[in-house]
Structure 1
Amino acid sequence: MKKIIMAVLLLLGVACAGGGYYIFYYKPQQDAELAKLMAEQEKVEPIAMVEEEEEQAPPKPPVTDYYVSPDKLGVRESPDYDAFVESVVYRGDKLHVLEKKDGWGRISPYYVYEDGGQEVAEWVPMEALLEVAPTITKDERTETVSSYIEKSDDFKQHFEMFVKKTDQLLKDKTCVPEDFEETSGWMRSITFKPRNVYFVYCGGIKQANKIYLDVETGEIFYR
Structure 2
Amino acid sequence: MQNCLTHLLSDYSHGGIELLHSLVRPHRTTVSALHRQGTLVVLNGTSSSGKTSLAVELQRVAPELQLLHLQLDVFRAMEPPGCWSADYRNQAPLRLEALCRAMNKAASEFARCGQNVLVDHVLSPAACRYMLEDLDRYRVLLVKVECGIEEAERREALRKDRKSGLARSQLASVHAACSYDFEVDTTSRSASELGPLLADWLRGSPEPEAHIRMQRSRNAA
**TM-score w.r.t. structure 1 length?**
0.19
**TM-score w.r.t. structure 2 length?**
0.20
Larger Rg: 1
* Bigger proportion of residues as strand: 1
Highest RCO, 1 vs 2 (Cα 8 Å, sep ≥ 6): 2
* Bigger proportion of residues as helix: 2
